[in-house]
Amino acid sequence: MGDEKLNNQIAEYALRLGDDALVFGQRLCEWCADAPTLEEDIAISNVGLDYLGRARMALQYAGKTLGRTEDELAFLRDSGEFRNLLLVELPRGDFAFSMVRQYLLDEFELLFFAQLCKSKDDTLGAIAAKTVKEVRYHQRRSANWMQRLGLGTQESQARTQAAIDQLWGYMPELFEMDELEASLLQAGIAVDRVELHSKWLDIVSAQFASANLQVPESDWQVVGGRKGVHTEHLGHMLGEMQFLQRAYPGLEW
Amino acid sequence: MAEANDLVQAFDNKIHAEEKIEPKDWMPAGYRKNLIRQMSQHAHSEVIGMQPEGNWLTRAPTLERKSVLLAKIQDEAGHGLYLYSATETLGITREEIVQALHDGHAKYASIFNYPSLTWADIGTIGWIVDGAAIVNQVALQRTSYGPYARAMVRICKEESFHQRQGYESVAVLARGSAQQKAMAQDALNRWWWPALMMFGPHDADSAHSAQSMLWKIKRKSNDELRQSFVDQTVPQAEIIGLEIPDPDLKWNEQRQHYDFGEIDWDEFKQVINGNGLCNRERLAQHKQAHANGAWVRAAVAAYVKGKTGESGE
């Protein structure tokens, strides 16, 4: 494989990771001054800052090859050019929805970034090493919330179970490999997502079982983000997020 | 009776000797009440102040600005938390403090009843509003109540960082395109007078000032603080080429201070009394978030009860 082709593939891979972090970080921003407690407001900001930091690192890296800055990538692409997972673009919902999504993602990211630490690409490895440390804290918090919400009141249990049911069909996309990622896996750069699935399911199932929550039996699944086919929600998010750069193009802020 | 007099004497001696009053010390009921009023208002201001800034968080123009703004708002939430805790040392619970806000008994800084309309407002709030708050808070580092004074030391460090970030952000706009510069000037025009109002009425008209000064809760008068703020801010505006919206503003060589125009006290009263653009929305948002979170807080309480119940058996 030629260097240029490989570099382009790595850039595309970094773009996916960057978009995941950016879009999720943006959703977390929507909790500002709206959390159930002031302590939780602070915690969500902490997590959001980690995601924004990760987004910046990954987009800067992708942008080096793509010839675009992090801000050009974040603010000047339309939804069809975004490569994030559908899971992270869904509207934030209630606190149960946001926290279940956080938990499902945290358990995945712990496994994923632990593997990515071993990447033969030094920059991706370094991003992963930093991310693993952050995600450990995220996971500790979201796993605690699964316990509190699942074993709290009837209402909290019902809301949390409903969130799990609503989110479950977006999980298969996290474990999907395509040609690009398979090729980068061969090169020792990307992570084998398929391999993570059974371990992730075991961990999540055990956590849910201990918190009076059920793993859904339904087998629906929705995918498309990696190809730029998104839910209707992403366009609205971008309309808001990109407003200034679109209305006043080409300026320094 | 002799004992009560001794307590008052001991308290007065401490105040006189510039010693801090600590939570377990005896203090007059009025001192306690005055502090609860001032400290809880301060805490509520930090928390309500998150709203006008949060209004631009999802629309920040660059990823760096978005991160900086999120970190700043998180600091404000932290200040709120810290001040609620400091207020609780006076024997009131956080629930009671928040309830007083919802009931309209407790206030927050009236400046947050103004809307944040453009991105330039975010930098301007950091520069002007935090700038005014710092002038107030630096003086409060010497306030007589220990937990409040210590909270101020920590909060001032972060606030001065915010103030510099805000000023830098406005400076970038001021040297940007014509539209950006106009945006920055417009923001300064809208926030300047409300910022001057943050220091409260003239000393002669200030309801709580005299007693607060005697108790050394307040260390400088409203007018003194306002003058310091004007003196420090006017040159900052000049450096970045923005104009303070006050035709009466001019340097007074004799006083070695800036003279400035009279505040529109009618507007001040109007906004305090509920006729600002955002009064109802700010409070409604806080109430709504609190109400939306009720089931979460109930779940935590039930979970903790369940756990302690288990281990107790």
Q: What is the pLDDT of residues A68-103, one digit of tens each?
A: 999 999 999 999 999 999 999 999 999 999 999 999
Q: What is the pLDDT of residue B284?
A: 98
A160 pLDDT exceeds 50? yes
Report pLDDT for A219.
83
- Assess whether pLDDT exceeds 60 at residue B311: no
Lowest-confidence segment of A131-145, A149-163, A236-250, B206-220 by average pLDDT: B206-220
pLDDT class of B1 with cuts at 50, 70, 90: low
d(CA B254, CA B251): 9
Query: What pLDDT, on the 0 to 100 scale, is given for residue B207?
Result: 76
B166 pLDDT band, cuts 50/70/90, is very high
A165-176 confidence digits (pLDDT tens):
999 999 999 999
pTM: 0.96
Phi first, then psi, for residue A252 (nearest 5°) are: -90, 140
Residue A116 in domain: yes
A48, A112, A168, B201 from A105: Cα distances, Å: 14, 10, 11, 52
How does pLDDT run across A48-63, given as a tens digit for each residue? 999 999 999 999 999 9
Parent domain of A209: 3-247
* Residue B271 contacts residue B113 (beta carbons within 8 Å): yes
Buried b / exposed e along A171-208 (16+ C-beta atoms within 10 A) = bebbbebeebbebbbeeebbbebeebbeebeebbeebb
Residues B62-70: what's their mean pLDDT? 98
Structure tokens at B215: 């108790």
Give me the phi and psi of B145, to 5 degrees please. Answer: -90, 120
What is the C-alpha to C-alpha distance for residues A145 and A39, in angstroms, rounded to an integer?
13
Answer whether residue B54 shows pLDDT above 80.
Answer: yes
Q: What is the share, in percent, of chain B residues with pLDDT greater than 90?
A: 92
The reply to whether A149 falls in a domain is: yes
| A69/B contact by beta carbon, under 8 A | no
Is the separation of the CB atoms in A84 and A19 below 8 Å? yes
B84 contacts in chain A (CB < 8 Å): 38
Nearest-angstrom CA–CA distance, A161 and A176: 25
Mean pLDDT of A100-127: 98
The answer to whether the Cβ–Cβ distance between A156 and B119 falls below 8 Å is no
Question: Is A122 within a domain?
Answer: yes
Asked whether the predicted pLDDT for residue B313 surpasses 50, the reply is no
Write down the pLDDT at residue B208: 76
d(CA B267, CA B273): 10
Distance CA B224, CA B259 (A): 13
Q: What residues of B are in contact with residue A59 (Cβ under 8 Å)?
A: 63
Asked if residue A253 is part of any domain, the answer here is no
A70 in B contact zone (CB under 8 Å): yes
Yes or no, beta carbons of A37 and B297 under 8 Å apart: yes
Distance between CA B232 and CA B253 in Å, rounded?
16
Helix, strand, coil % over all residues of chain B, rounded to 5: 70, 5, 25
Q: What's the CATH number where A170 sits?
A: 1.20.1260.10
Average pLDDT taken over every residue of chain A? 97
Q: What token pair was written down for A247?
A: 């209305």
CB–CB of B28/B8 below 8 Å?
A: yes
The count of structural domains within chain A is 1
Interface probe with A: pick from B53, B281, B303, most Cβ of A within 10 Å: B303
Residue type at position B258:
Y
Which member of A30, A38, A155 has the closest CB to residue B58?
A30
| Residue A252 lies inside a defined structural domain of this protein | no
H or E segment at B251?
strand B250-252
Q: Which helix (H) or strand (E) holds A135?
A: helix A122-150
Pairwise CA distance, residues B68 & B70, whole Å = 6
B120-139 confidence digits (pLDDT tens): 999 999 999 999 999 999 99
B270 touching A (Cβ < 8 Å) = no
What's the CA dihedral at B228, B233, B239, B243 to 10 degrees? Answer: -130
Q: What is the pLDDT of residue B209?
A: 81
In a domain, A110, yes or no: yes
Q: How much is the mean pLDDT over chain B?
A: 95
pLDDT at A1: 56
Interval A201-241: pLDDT, tens: 999 999 999 999 999 997 899 999 999 999 999 999 999 99
Residue A124 CA to its chain's centroid (Å)? 16
Interface list for A 138-167 with B (CB within 8 A): 147-149, 151-153, 155-156, 159
Helix axes B222-239, B130-140, angle to 10 degrees: 140
Instruction: Answer yes or no: is pLDDT of B3 > 90.
Output: no
Phi and psi at residue A223, to the nearest 5°: -135, 170
Task: Tell me: pLDDT of B312 over 50.
Answer: no
Would you give the DSSP letter of residue B258?
A: E
Q: Do B70 and A32 touch (CB under 8 A)?
A: yes
Q: Which of A38, A52, A253 sits opposite B77 (nearest CB)?
A: A38
Asked whether the CA dihedral B101, B105, B107, B110 is positive or negative, the reply is positive
